Structure 1
Amino acid sequence: MASFVFEALNMETLLRRDQRAYACPLIGDKKKGELERTPGAVRRAPRPRVFRPRTVLDDLPEDSIVRDYRLSTEAILALYELISPDLERTNLRGRAVPGIVKLLCCLNYFSTGCFQGSVARGGGVSQSSLSRYLGQVLKAIRKQMCRFISFPKDHDDLHALKQSFREIADFPNVLGAIGCTHIGICAPGYSQESYLNRKGWHSLSVQMVCDSKGQITSLLAAFPGRYHNAFILRQSGLFEAFESGDISDGWLVGDSGYPCLPWLMTPLADAQNPSQVKYNEVLAKTRSVIKRTFGVIKSRFRCLDKSVGVLKYSPAKSADIIVACCVLHNIALAHGVPPPTEPAGEGELEQVDHDEVETPEGTAVRDNVIINYF
C-alpha cells in the first residue's frame, strides 16, 4: 500500500510538470495578469512584488533625523556624496535599493544598537538585506577613515592644538589625550581567552587620542580586551611617529596605565610636595577630555554601549563598526551636531597600575615640567 501511494504521488508530480510545460502564455489582448488557458492548464499569473515604503530624509523634521541617525541632514548628505559610489548598484536589473537607504539603515543601527530585524523594518528592507548593506557601508566608511581621523602635523595646527589644551587647566604643550576603552563583543569562535578583559567579559580594547574638543585624532581598534594600554601603544603607528621624531615639540597626556616617556606625561605615583600635587591635578583635568569623548561616542552610537548589548559580530567586523562610529563622531563634531542628552550606561574600565618602566628621559622631562610650570 505504501509503495502504491508513493507511486501515485510520483505520477501526480509528473502530470503537474507536464501540464506546466504545455500551459499557454499570455495571449495578445488579454488584460495584464490574465491567462488564456487550454483545458488542463494550471499556470497562474505571477504576483506583483511588493516593496515596503522606505524612509526619505525630506519627509522627516530635522530633530527626528538627528535623533534617529545622530547626524544632521547636511552631514548625512555630505557623507553620502563621498561614499555613494560604493553603495549604488551598477546592475540596473530589478528594483535596486538606493544607496542613501542603505546608509540610513546602518546609521539607525549604529545609533540605537537595536537588533537588525527591527532596524530593517523601520528602513523598509529585510534583515538579511541589512546585513549585506552593513558590510558595504562599513567598507565604504573605512576607505574614508584617513580623511576624518588624522593627527595634525602642520605647525600652525599644532600651535592651535596646544593653546586649546592649555585653556582646559593650563597644562603646557599638550598635543592630545590618550586612553583605551573597552567595546563589548560576543565570544569569538577562536582565542576566546584573549578577548576576556579583567572584568570577565569579551571586548576589544580600543586606543584613541583626542583633541581638546573631543575630536579623535588617532584610532587603533584591533586588539583583544586582555591587552593592556601600554602594550597596545607600543604596537601603534603613533608610538613610532613620536619615537622617530616625526611628531615632536609636545606630548600626550595619559593615565597611570602608561609609562612616562619624553612625549607622554603620566601621573606621579607618589606626589610629595605641592608642585607635584598640582601637576597631578592639572594632568587629570586635562586628560579627562578622553574619558568624556568615550562617553559621548557611546551615547551617540548606542551599539557601542555595553548596557544596550554587545556587538554580535566577529572581532574584525566589530572593529570596522567601531571605526565607522568614530568617523561618524568626528563628522558630527565638524557639523556641529550636539551629543545626545542620555549618558552611556557602561562606565569606563579604570586602568590598574602596572609596573611600567619609566625611562630616565621621560622622568627628566616630567621633572622639568613640574619645576617650570607648577
Structure 2
Amino acid sequence: MAFALPVWLAVQEELLRHDGAAPSSFDDFDDDALFQMFHLTRPCIAFITDAVCIRMKTVAMNKPALSVDAAVMVALNYYAHGVSSTDVLQRLGSSQADFPALICTLSAVIAGMADQFISFPLLRDAKANVACSIRRVCGIPNVLGVLAPAHFKIRASPYEKETFRSFVNTLGYTSVVSQFICDSDGNILSVEKCCVGSTFEQELWDSSFKGREMEEELHGPYWVIGKMRAVSCTTSLRSSPSLPRL
C-alpha cells in the first residue's frame, strides 16, 4: 500500500487534466490527413476553433445544427479546397445543402475577429521594430512589410464564359485574389478585399488602401517590398527599381 497515495494523486491529476475537454470533430484525423483536408496544422486548427467558440458566445444566433468545432471543420475544409469534401460530409452526417449558410455564418464570425489579429504598425516605435526585424532577414532598410497576392481556389461556372475567364489566374485555375502584407515572422499586417483571380498584382496595389497610403507618404520614409520589386512612399510599384528575389 506504500504506493496507494502517489498512484491516487496521479490518477486525479490525469482526470483533472482532461476534465471538461470534450472530444473534437478533428480528433478522428491524424496529422497528415488533417493537413491534407484543411491545409492547417493541429495547433493552428485548435487556435481557430477556440477563438471562434469564444466569439460565438457573444453573437446572437439560432441554435446551430452542428457543434462549433464541426462548423469550423466545414468552413476550413471549404476554404482549403473551394468545395466541401465527401469525407467531411460522411463524418458529420450532414447534407451539403445545409453547408452554404453555415459557411457564410462562420465566415462572418471569423471576419469579425480580424481586427484582433491583423494590424498595420502605425506608431513610430512599432514601425521601427518591424523594419529592424525585416532588415536582419534581407538587409533592406526601412521596410514595413512584405507584399504578395494570395489566391484562394473557387469553383466558377464554365457556362458563364466571360465571368469564368475573369476568375482564371496565371496558374491556370479559378480563384479570388487578395493583397497581403506580412512581417518577417509571418504575422499578417494588412489584408485587402478580394478581386477576381485574373487581377494583376499592379492593379491590386494601385487600387489598395495601403498603396494609396504609401503614395501619399502617410507612413513616412518606409517601404513595402514585393516579390520582385520595392515600393517607397514616393515611388509607385510600376516605376520602382527591381530587387533580387528574397
Normalised by the size of structure 2, how large is the TM-score?
Answer: 0.69
Identical aligned residues as a percent: 20
Q: 1:104 aligns with which of 47, 55, 73?
A: 73
- C-alpha offsets along residues 17-49 of structure 1, whole Å, 9 cap, x if unaligned? xxxxxxxxxxxxxxxxxxxxxxxxxxxxxxxxx
Task: Indicate the residue corresponding to 1:135 in structure 2.
Answer: 104
Task: Indicate the residue corresponding to 2:62 in structure 1.
Answer: 89
Task: Indicate the residue corresponding to 2:15 in structure 1.
Answer: none
Task: Indicate the residue corresponding to 1:252 in structure 2.
Answer: 224
Task: Indicate the residue corresponding to 1:348 in structure 2.
Answer: none
Indicate yes or no: 2:148 matched with 1:179. Answer: yes
Letter in 2 for 1:230: Q
Q: How does 1:261-340 map to 2 (within 5 A)?
A: 262=234, 268=241, 280-281=243-244, 284-285=245-246
Whether the aligned pair in 2 keeps the contact of 1:177 and 1:211 (CA below 8 Å) is: yes
Whether the aligned pair in 1 keeps the contact of 2:192 and 2:209 (CA below 8 Å) is: no
Cα separation, 2, equivalents of 1:113 and 1:193? 17
Task: Indicate the residue corresponding to 2:215 in structure 1.
Answer: 243
RMSD between aligned residues: 3.6
- C-alpha offsets along residues 5-26 of structure 1, whole Å, 9 cap, x if unaligned? xxxxxxxxxxxxxxxxxxxxxx
Q: Say which SS state the counterpart of residue 221 (structure 2) adopts.
A: coil
Q: 1:78 aligns with which of 40, 51, 55?
A: 51
| Residue 123 of structure 1, CA deviation | 2.7
Indicate yes or no: 2:89 matched with 1:120. Answer: yes
Whether the aligned pair in 2 keeps the contact of 1:88 and 1:99 (CA below 8 Å) is: no
Q: Say which SS state the counterpart of residue 198 (structure 2) adopts.
A: coil
- C-alpha offsets along residues 112-158 of structure 1, whole Å, 9 cap, x if unaligned? 66634321222343322233311111111112222222212122221
Task: Indicate the residue corresponding to 2:169 in structure 1.
Answer: 197
| Residue 176 of structure 1, CA deviation | 0.7
How many residues are aligned here? Answer: 215
Q: 2:24 aligns with which of 10, 34, 57?
A: 57
Normalised by the size of structure 1, how large is the TM-score?
Answer: 0.48
Whether the aligned pair in 1 keeps the contact of 2:215 and 2:236 (CA below 8 Å) is: no
| Residue 183 of structure 1, CA deviation | 3.4
- C-alpha offsets along residues 270-325 of structure 1, whole Å, 9 cap, x if unaligned? xxxxxxxxxx44xx32xxxxxxxxxxxxxxxxxxxxxxxxxxxxxxxxxxxxxxxx
Cα separation, 2, equivalents of 1:57 and 1:175? 39
User: Residue 60 and residue 179 in structure 1: after superposition, are their counterparts in 2 closer, same or farther (change >3 A)?
Assistant: closer
- C-alpha offsets along residues 239-298 of structure 1, whole Å, 9 cap, x if unaligned? 2222333322311112457777636688745xxxxxxxxxx44xx32xxxxxxxxxxxxx
Q: Say which SS state the counterpart of residue 140 (structure 2) adopts.
A: coil
Whether the aligned pair in 2 keeps the contact of 1:208 and 1:217 (CA below 8 Å) is: yes
Stretches of structure 2 that go unaligned for 5 or more consecutive residues are 1-21
| Residue 220 of structure 1, CA deviation | 2.2
Q: How does 1:20-35 map to 2 (within 5 A)?
A: none
Letter in 1 for 2:198: R
Q: Say which SS state the counterpart of residue 212 (structure 1) adopts.
A: coil
Cα separation, 2, equivalents of 1:119 and 1:187? 22
